[in-house]
Chain A
C-alpha cells in the first residue's frame, strides 16, 4: 500500500514537472479553461443567487393577489369587491393596493409608483429607490417633477431614500401618498390596482383562490408561488440566453482543448516511448497523463469557480449585470448573499473536468499501447 501511494506521488511529481516543462502551452490552456469555468460559474452563481434573493424578498409579500380582468386585460378593481367576496375561512387580512408604472422620458426609465400601507406620506412627499436617486442625481429634500397623463406637472419632495439592502425590488420604486397617486394617474376614489389577501395556512391557498374565482368571476387570483415560478422562469430564460451567447466561446474551447488533449506532439510520443522502454507500464503512462489532465482541469475549475465567486458576490457580477438583472436603465446596487448550490456545482464540475480528463486519456492510451521499441529507431 505504501509503495502504491509512493508510486502515485512519483507519478504526480513527474506530471507536475512535465507541466512545468511546457509552461507556455499549459499556462495558456489553464487560462482559457479557467475563463470558461469562470463565465459559466458566474452565470450559474448569479442567477441562482438572484432567485434565492427573490425568494427572500417575496417571503414577505401577500399570499394572494386579486386582479380584475376586463376583456382579458388587467383593470382597476372596485374597493367594494372586498365586501363582495365576503368572509372566506383562512383569510386573515385583505386590502386594496395602488400601484402603477410611470415612464420618465428624462432618463428613459420606467418607475414603479406605489402607495405604501406602512407609512403615512404628505401629499407632495415621495420616498424613492436608491437607483432613481442615483440616476436623477437627487437626494433627500430635493424635488422630482413628473408630467402626468392629464398634462399637468406634479412635484414630489424626496423625504427619504429606500434602504439599499432591498434594492433588488426597490431600485425603481417611488412611494407616494394615496391622494397624489389618484390625482396623478386619474384613478377615481374607491378603485384600486388590485386587492391582496393574507392567508395563514399555505395549504388553504388553492381553496381560497377557488372560492374567489366563484364569488368574483371577473377576477383572477395570483398566488405567491406562481410569482416565484415566474421569477424562476425569467431567470432561467436569462441564464439560457447568456449560455447561448457563451456557446461560441465554449465550442472554441472544446476544439482547443480537444486538439491539445487528443493531439500528442512528436516530443510527447517520444517521451512515452522512452518511459515504456525504461520500464514504465502502459497503465503507468496512462495514469501519469490522467494526473496531468486532472491537475489542469481541477486547477482551472477551482481557479475559475473562485474567481466567479468573487466576481458575483464581491464585484456584483459586473460582466453579466445588464443581462441577468434585467433593469434597462436603473440597475440595482446591492450585494448578493453568497449561495452555492451543490447540484449546480457538481453539474459544472461534471461538464468541465470530466470531458477534458477523458479527452486526454484516449490518445494517450493509443500511444501508450504501441511497442516501446520505437525509441530504438
Chain B
C-alpha cells in the first residue's frame, strides 16, 4: 500500500469574492499506510478541510494530493467518487446516519452503487454488526440508537466496502470518555487488521492514546511543525 502525499496543498472558500477565505495555506504532508495519524488543532485550524480533500470529498484550490503514482486531486467527479468508494471509509462527527432506515440498511448503503449480490451484502453487513456488538440491533431504526451504538453503526458503514483507509472527523466529539476509549480500542483493532487510520480531533483521549502513531498539529490552515512531516 502506498503513502498519501500532499504537496503545497491550498484551499480557498469563496475565491474571488470579498469574503474569500483560505482554510488551508500550503500543506506538505505524508501519511504512512497501516498507521493511525491524528490531525490535531483548535476549531477553524483547517483539520476537517484537509481531511475532506485527502478523502476525495473536495478538491484543493492548488497543490497536489497523490497516492503512489495516482493523482487524487483534480480528478473528474466520477473518478473521485470511485476512489472514495473503494479506498476510503468515513466516520462523521454527527455520524450522519440516515434516519428512518434500519441499522442494517444504513450499513449496506455505500455498497448499493456497486450492485453486489444482496444475500452476500447483507451477510457481510450482519457480520460487521455482530463484530461491533450490534447484531441484535440490525433491524432497529437508527434514531433509536444510543450515541455509542450510532457511532459503531457508522463504523460498520465505513467498513462495508472494505476500504484501505478509514477517515474519522472528530469521532469522539459526541461521546463521553468511556465511549471515547472504546472507540480508540476499535481503532486499535482496525489498525491491527492493516487499515490506515486518519483522524481529526482536539480530544486528548484520542491524540494521547497509545494507538495513535503520529499527531500532526495544525493552526490557521498550516502545519505547526512542518519538520515533523
Contacts and interface: CB of A to CB of B under 8 A. Distances in A.
B115 A21 contact: no
A371 B53 CA distance: 11
A267 B98 CA distance: 10
A274 B96 contact: yes
A376 interface: yes
B153 interface: no
B81 A280 contact: yes
A168 B213 CA distance: 90
A14 interface: yes
A279 B169 contact: no
A277 B57 contact: yes
B100 A11 contact: no
B92 A6 contact: no
Interface core residue of B48, B84, B110, B113 (most chain A CB under 10 Å):
B113
Contacts of B81: 276, 279-282
A377 interface: yes
Contacts of B49: 373
A233 B47 CA distance: 73
A21 B101 contact: yes
A7 B98 contact: no
Interface string B107-150: 00110111111100000000000000000000000000000000
Contacts, number: 89
Contacts of B157: 278
B212 to A, nearest CB: 21
Interface core residue of A2, A267, A278, A375 (most chain B CB under 10 Å):
A278
Contacts of A373: 49, 52, 57-58
A220 B51 CA distance: 90
Nearest to A3: B115
A286 to B, nearest CB: 12
B109 A275 contact: yes
A17 B105 CA distance: 10
Contacts of A7: 112-115
Nearest to B154: A278
A351 interface: no
Nearest to B88: A279
B184 to A, nearest CB: 21
Nearest to A270: B96
Interface string A16-43: 0110111000000000000000000000
B152 interface: no
B57 A376 contact: yes
A17 B96 contact: no
A203 B109 CA distance: 69
A271 interface: yes
A148 B6 CA distance: 105
B99 interface: yes
Contact of B48 (A9, A371, A376): A376
Interface core residue of A20, A267, A280 (most chain B CB under 10 Å):
A280
Contact of A14 (B90, B96, B112): B112
Interface of B: 48-49, 51-52, 57-59, 77-78, 81, 84-86, 90, 92-93, 96, 98-101, 105, 109-110, 112-118, 157, 161, 169
Given A6-B117, A21-B101, 5 more contacts: A277-B84, A280-B113, A371-B57, A373-B57, A376-B93
